Amino acid sequence: MAKWMGFFISEHSTVLQESSVDLEEMEQLPLSQKLFLLNQLFVQQLSGKFLVQEGSERRHYIGRIKDLYREHLVLKEKEGRVRVSMDRLLAFDLEEEE
């Protein structure tokens, strides 16, 4: 079972890396597809880059998803935790760890 789970996780890591999309494509994704991709980051506790609309500005966050709901997610970054509403989440991607 552990071997199968390792394959499953590595396979979804590959999907995340290959699913890098630009902002315009990300805006066109249905919520269910965004949640599927976010869930991969959450389950594997991978670090991600998140672009969030905050008022008239856009802000980038880098961190791990600690809680994931249909309406919002909670990111853990160096400065603490950040709650991000799904309607303010513009784009996200896998953060390449060195």
45 φ/ψ sector (left φ>0, alpha ψ -120 to 50, else beta): left
Query: What structural domains and CATH numbers belong to the chain?
Result: 2-94 (2.30.30.520)
- When pLDDT is cut at 50, 70 and 90, the band that residue 5 belongs to is very low
Query: 56, 57, 43: which is closest to 10 by C-alpha?
Result: 43
pLDDT of 80 higher than 80: yes
pLDDT of 7 higher than 50: no
CA angle, corner 76, sides to 71 and 65, nearest 5? 45
Hey, is 31 helix, strand or coil?
A: helix
State the pLDDT at residue 13. Answer: 53
Question: Mean per-residue pLDDT for 4-15?
Answer: 49
Do 58 and 90 contact (CB within 8 A), yes or no? yes
State the pLDDT at residue 25. Answer: 78
- When pLDDT is cut at 50, 70 and 90, the band that residue 38 belongs to is very high
Query: 62, 54, 59: which is closest to 98 by C-alpha?
Result: 62
pLDDT of 6 higher than 50: no
